[in-house]
Amino acid sequence: MSELLLLQVANPQVVASSTGVFLIATLVKMLVVFTLYMVGVALLTLAERKISAWIQDRHGPNRVGPHGLLQPAADGLKNIMKEETYPDAAYKPLFILAPAMAFLPALTAWAVIPFASPLPTRWGLIPMVVADLPIGFLFILALTSLGVYGIVLAGWSSNNKYSLLGGLRSSAQMVSYEIAMGLSTIPVLLLAGNVTLSVIIDQQAHGLYNILNLTIAFFIFMVAAFAETNRLPFDLPEAESELIAGYHTEYSAMKFSFFFIAEYANMVTASALMATLFFGGWDIPISGWENAAPYTVLKTVATAAMFAAKVMFFIFVFMWIRWTLPRFRYDQLMSLGWKFMLPLALGYIVVIASVMLGLDASGIEYGPLYGLALFGVNLALVMILFVMVDHGRIISPAYGRLDPRELEKLRAMRQRSTLARRPDARAPVGPPKAARVTGGTP
Amino acid sequence: MVKAYIPVLLLMGFVVMNAVLMLGLSALTLRSRPTPDKQIPYESGITPLGNARERFSVKFYMVAMLFIIFDIETVFMIPWGAHYKQLSCSAPLVNGSCATANVSFFGLGEMLVFMAILLVGYIYVWKKGALQWD
Q: Does residue A179 share a domain with residue A147? A: yes
Q: Does residue A406 share a domain with residue A263? A: no
Contact B48 A360 (CB under 8 A): no
Answer whether residue A71 is part of any domain.
Answer: no
Instruction: State the pLDDT confidence band at A439, using cuts at 50, 70 and 90.
Output: very low
Q: Does residue A241 share a domain with residue A359? A: yes
Q: Which residues of chain A are within 8 Å of residue B29 when distances are taken between CB atoms?
A: 80-81
The pLDDT assigned to B1 comes to 66
Alpha carbon of B88: minimum distance to chain A alpha carbons (Å): 7
The pLDDT assigned to A109 comes to 87
Q: Across residues A253-272, what is the average pLDDT?
A: 88
In angstroms, the CA A343 to CA A390 distance is 13
Contact A356 B133 (CB under 8 A): no
Q: Say which of B29, B75, B133 has its CB closest to residue A330.
A: B133
Q: Is B43 exposed, middle or buried (0-12, 13-18, 19+ CB in 10 A)?
A: middle
pLDDT of A438 > 50? The answer is: no
Q: What is the phi/psi pair of residue A92, to 5°?
A: -55, -50
The pLDDT assigned to A271 comes to 92
Answer whether residue A80 is part of any domain.
Answer: no
Answer whether residue B134 is part of any domain.
Answer: no
Domain that holds residue B32: 2-128
Least confident range from A232-246, A252-266, A386-400: namely: A386-400
Q: Does residue A431 share a domain with residue A376? A: no
Q: Does residue A328 share a domain with residue A263? A: yes
Q: CA of A262: which chain B residue's CA is closest?
A: B19
pLDDT digits (tens, 9 = 90+) for B16-58: 998 888 888 887 887 778 788 777 777 777 777 777 777 878 8
pLDDT digits (tens, 9 = 90+) for A322-348: 888 888 878 878 888 888 888 889 989
Answer whether residue B80 is part of any domain.
Answer: yes
pTM of the shown model:
0.84
Nearest CA among A150, A117, A115, A130 for reference residue A268: A115
Q: Does residue A413 share a domain with residue A287? A: no
Contact B131 A178 (CB under 8 A): no
Count CA within 13 A, CB hemisphere, residue B115: 21
By the CB < 8 Å criterion, does B40 face chain A? yes
Q: Does residue A442 share a domain with residue A308? A: no
* H/E element, A440: helix A430-440
* Cβ pair A276, A200 in contact under 8 A: yes
Answer whether residue A325 is part of any domain.
Answer: yes
Cis? peptide before A233, omega within 30° of 0: yes
pLDDT digits (tens, 9 = 90+) for A13-48: 777 667 777 788 888 888 888 888 888 888 898 999
Q: Does residue A360 share a domain with residue A412? A: no
By the CB < 8 Å criterion, does B41 face chain A? yes
Q: Does residue A102 share a domain with residue A168? A: yes
Q: What is the CATH number of the domain that holds B109?
A: 1.20.58.1610
Mean pLDDT in chain A? Answer: 81
Q: Does residue A385 share a domain with residue A406? A: no
pLDDT of A374 > 60? The answer is: yes
Q: Say which of A104, A111, A139 has its CB closest to residue B16.
A: A104
Answer whether residue B13 is part of any domain.
Answer: yes
Q: Which residues of chain B are within 8 Å of residue A366 when distances are taken between CB atoms?
A: 96-97
Nearest CA among B15, B2, B4 for reference residue A26: B4
Q: Does residue A429 share a domain with residue A337? A: no
Answer whether residue A61 is part of any domain.
Answer: no
* H/E element, A119: strand A119-121
By the CB < 8 Å criterion, does B69 face chain A? no
Contact B11 A34 (CB under 8 A): yes
The domain tally of chain A equals 2
The domain tally of chain B equals 1
% of chain A surpassing 70 pLDDT: 86
Answer whether residue B133 is part of any domain.
Answer: no
Nearest CA among A185, A190, A150 for reference residue A170: A150
Q: Across residues A212-225, what is the average pLDDT?
A: 90
Mean pLDDT in chain B? Answer: 83
Q: CA of A181: which chain B residue's CA is closest?
A: B74
pLDDT of A12 > 80? The answer is: no
Alpha carbon of A432: minimum distance to chain B alpha carbons (Å): 57
Domain boundary among A346, A371, A389: A389
- Taking 3-state DSSP, the helix, strand and coil percentages for chain B, each rounded to the nearest 5, stand at 60, 5, 35
pLDDT digits (tens, 9 = 90+) for A305-319: 889 999 999 999 999
Domain that holds residue A421: 399-442
Least confident range from A291-295, B106-110, B129-133: namely: A291-295
Under DSSP, is residue A211 helix (H, G, I), strand (E, B) or coil?
helix
Q: Across residues A128-151, what is the average pLDDT?
A: 85
The pLDDT assigned to A309 comes to 92
Q: Does residue A231 share a domain with residue A301? A: yes
Which of B17, B53, B62, B74 should we substitute to test contact with A (largest number of A Cβ atoms within 10 Å)? B74
CA distances from A144 to A11, A109, A262, B6 (A): 38, 7, 11, 20
The pLDDT assigned to A331 comes to 80
The pLDDT assigned to A395 comes to 58
Answer whether residue A342 is part of any domain.
Answer: yes
DSSP letter for B89, please.
B
Answer whether residue A185 is part of any domain.
Answer: yes
pLDDT of A120 > 50? The answer is: yes
In angstroms, the CA A279 to CA A221 distance is 13
